[in-house]
Structure 1
């Protein structure tokens, strides 16, 4: 069975988000404020955006783009093209694209799977100019062709894909909860790192590290195979994500590692985009950094990697990060200020106890990650067949 391919513009109104600037002047804690939808409000384990961490004052509405329940959002940079469905209203910045159905002949769940499929990603990427894909603009999305089966067929396909995807989401949710458990254990052992009720001594991040290296400020030249080059989309809260893996040549690997080669135990931190997320470089990883990342190597005599990771994830969480953020339009971590960041320093033996507990959690997480990969492959296979009319 085959269906006609139509431009997305015939199915959806497509528009880019906008941001009132400087954004800090428009943010509010008022309960009557308008939801301000950020990339960090989306989750890999949920296709819906149900709430936001921040709100803006009503005056910001005119300088942004309003969204409502039932709208689709697409990320247009970093890990571009990932779809989410709005289950609340609010405003979006220019890191999002809005897709609003033009008719009732659009089944939400079908288009969630279609827009997030590898086939449509490939069509987006093929239309992007240049050898690398930096951004997904509204024109590319409008003109991209997608299959449009009858509504009843959309519902049938969506039901099959939803059933398979529910297992993937459950496994992703389990991984997310394990990450949260690690933070809870940290809090129990060491208290609030900012309030420091336990009276631990403190030092600057620079004093706790052997090195802190900013990434090269150049766009990598991607290759079909080679050495893994990390991007912000590969980092989650305390772990790694490989749905979009990129490579560079051996020569580029060495060139991009001039400030410091990544090695086991280093922490890679996102300083732009979804700011403040970080993960530890594992054993035998041979990677280099793309853009918008910082390499942090703790000094083993005073701080271990697991403890420093949890400190950074806590202190640089979205509601606490403003003291080291700069830029009114593209907010990012100031590496100079990051070096000065004061952090508590619990005794090393307690840090090591914490690390042992984290190893146990990591073993469970690894099992779930393997299962998640299997679920993701199954979904991809089903989508491939479904959107060709073979399911």
Structure 2
């Protein structure tokens, strides 16, 4: 396997940035910024799908693939003029997706990737046939990961739709201020000096941990606190955690605490909402009401906004107008949520395993350790059109195709799904037309069978 510098196989370029004022919601072409599509416009600067590397900000080093006929802004480095005699776009895309750009990123306050810093990137290149196989199999693996994400998202949509269906008619009725239904507290301020007081380190929730509808527990930090503070700021099951600020569209961002970590507190910039009137208000119902369009509209109107950042204070949160439907309706909804959450927990576990398998598959692919056989080859070939099949198929993979089709059923040599079986039949007819396969008389069965020409 040969090693090539990135500049030997492509030409990195930052294109002119067009302002959001030049966007057109009815535009025909997508505009790509640092993290994917950011709008539409009426012109394009790339005809082919193009690999894009985020070159500024917190997501510096992220890799995307643009759709054909799109406009690439200057916040992403476009890899133009890919040398197709040496590398395929899909292979290079998957390689860069798993590449660690830390040695390429410069700057601390504002991370960035420059054209010159990309000269450090070296790419291992097997032959084009192997690249095509790797690109196709990783595409298929990624599709499985994406499917997991889509399934989880659909369950979230189902819960939001169920919430609206059950409670929309109650909006504006039986309004009670949140402060009359719950205790509301801001968290522990970081960086305090204790001057000899007895303290200990304890896990705490940061703003980065509290996301919209879930907790990101990938990184848990500790903070110094006294026993009195630990008791005051402790987290209990069904506490609602809400961040005080951020992007305007993320106001009201929060989720319920389920006791994920023993002995855990929370920092300032996070509010803890603990329901005290349980005979009137269910915490799960409250969580969905706060994060609904109703809740977000309240926070947008009440929030203080400066330089694109919006924030709410304790007074505004305490005044949140909770509409309180019958408790039995709230309880019924909470039971639906708990059932769906069990399903989602299983899906999260499957997603984690799928991501790990995809990561391992990527590593094997780019270390030259991925082994192919006729079955794997055929599945990859069936993911593509006939031209790809004709260019990359071997005698062994064609023979394997014929063996499967001879069975004329989905049995021990089955295809993964009926769609693949139908496609295999169509490819067989194409092979017949190209004289790569012929029909012969089989004396044993007194019938016609297919054989390689």
Per the TM superposition, whether the score is higher than 0.5 is yes
- Residues 15 and 35 (structure 1), Cα distance of their counterparts in 2 relative to 1, 3 Å cut: closer
Q: Aligned to 2:301, which of 299, 323, 329?
A: 323
Q: Secondary structure, in 3 states, of the residue corresponding to 1:354?
A: helix
Moved more, 96-105 or 135-144: 135-144
Per the alignment, residue 251 of structure 1 pairs with 224
- Residues 284 and 102 (structure 1), Cα distance of their counterparts in 2 relative to 1, 3 Å cut: closer
- Residues 310 and 160 (structure 1), Cα distance of their counterparts in 2 relative to 1, 3 Å cut: same
Q: Secondary structure, in 3 states, of the residue corresponding to 2:271?
A: strand
| Alignment size in residue pairs | 346
Q: Secondary structure, in 3 states, of the residue corresponding to 2:125?
A: coil
Q: What aligned pairs does 1:83-162 form with structure 2 within 5 A after superposition?
A: 83-87=63-67, 89=70, 97-105=75-83, 107-117=88-98, 119-120=99-100, 123=103, 127=105, 136-139=111-114, 142=118, 145-147=121-123, 149=125, 152=128, 153-162=130-139
1:282 matched to 2:258? The reply is yes
Query: How many angstroms does 1:186 deviate by?
Result: 0.6
Q: Secondary structure, in 3 states, of the residue corresponding to 2:224?
A: helix
Query: How many angstroms does 1:182 deviate by?
Result: 1.0
Q: TM-score under structure 2 normalisation?
A: 0.60
Per the alignment, residue 347 of structure 1 pairs with 326
Q: Deviations over 1:292-338 (max 9, x none)?
A: x6333231414332212211221378888642454453423333544
Q: Deviations over 1:214-234 (max 9, x none)?
A: 68578xxxxxxx9475453x5
Contact kept? 2:174, 2:325, Cα under 8 Å? yes
Distance in structure 1 (CA, Å) of the matches to 2:187 and 2:16: 30
Q: Aligned to 1:383, which of 362, 369, 382?
A: 362
- CA RMSD of superposed structures (Å): 4.7
Contact kept? 1:214, 1:335, Cα under 8 Å? no
Distance in structure 1 (CA, Å) of the matches to 2:226 and 2:152: 30
Per the alignment, residue 166 of structure 2 pairs with 189
Contact kept? 2:177, 2:320, Cα under 8 Å? yes
- Residues 86 and 262 (structure 1), Cα distance of their counterparts in 2 relative to 1, 3 Å cut: farther
Distance in structure 2 (CA, Å) of the matches to 1:69 and 1:192: 49
Q: Aligned to 2:148, which of 152, 168, 171?
A: 171
Distance in structure 2 (CA, Å) of the matches to 1:75 and 1:264: 41
- Give the gaps of 5 or more residues in structure 2: 192-201, 371-453
Query: How many angstroms does 1:78 deviate by?
Result: 5.4
Q: Aligned to 1:312, which of 276, 281, 290?
A: 290
Query: How many angstroms does 1:97 deviate by?
Result: 3.5
Q: What aligned pairs does 1:215-230 form with structure 2 within 5 A after superposition?
A: 216=189, 227=203, 230=206
Q: What aligned pairs does 1:254-269 form with structure 2 within 5 A after superposition?
A: 260-269=233-242
Q: Secondary structure, in 3 states, of the residue corresponding to 1:4?
A: strand
Query: How many angstroms does 1:353 deviate by?
Result: 1.6
Distance in structure 2 (CA, Å) of the matches to 1:262 and 1:79: 31
Per the alignment, residue 343 of structure 2 pairs with 364
Q: Deviations over 1:170-203 (max 9, x none)?
A: 111111111111111111110177xx2xx42223
Distance in structure 2 (CA, Å) of the matches to 1:90 and 1:319: 33
Contact kept? 2:61, 2:113, Cα under 8 Å? no
Q: Secondary structure, in 3 states, of the residue corresponding to 1:138?
A: coil
Per the alignment, residue 379 of structure 2 pairs with none
Q: Secondary structure, in 3 states, of the residue corresponding to 1:359?
A: helix
Query: How many angstroms does 1:113 deviate by?
Result: 3.1
Moved more, 11-20 or 203-212: 11-20
Identify the structure with bigger relative contact order (alpha carbons < 8 Å, sequence gap 6+).
1
